[in-house]
Amino acid sequence: MEAVSRTAQWTAAARALETEREDRLFADPYARTVADEIGFELLERYAGGGTVPFLAIRTTYLDRAIVDTVRERGIRQVVFLAAGMDTRFFRLPWPDGVTVYELDRPALLEAKAEMLAREPRPAGRDRVTVPVDLTQDWTGPLKEAGWKSEEPVLWVVEGLLFFLPEQAVRTLISTLSAHAAPGSVLLGDVISQAALDNPLARGFMKALDEDGNPWLFGTEEPEQLLADCGWAVREVRQPGEDGADFGRWPYPVPARSVPRVPRSFLFTCDLPTYEEEKAA
Q: In the predicted model, what is the mean pLDDT of residues 150-166?
A: 97
Q: Please report which confidence band the pLDDT of residue 47 belongs to, taking 50, 70 and 90 as the band edges.
A: confident
Residue 225 three-state SS: helix
Confidence band (pLDDT; 50, 70, 90) for 6? confident
Q: What is the C-alpha to C-alpha distance for residues 62 and 71, in angstroms, rounded to an integer?
A: 14
CB neighbours (10 Å) of residue 245? 17
Dmax (CA) for the chain in angstroms is 53
* pLDDT score recorded for residue 278: 56
- pTM of the predicted protein model: 0.95
Residue 49: what pLDDT?
66
What is the torsional sign of CA 216, 221, 223, 225?
negative
* Cβ atoms of residues 173 and 81 within 8 Å: no
Average pLDDT along the chain: 94
- The strand ranges marked E within the chain are 77-81, 98-104, 125-131, 154-157, 185-191, 232-237, 264-270
Is the Cβ–Cβ distance between 35 and 116 less than 8 Å? no
pLDDT at 187: 98
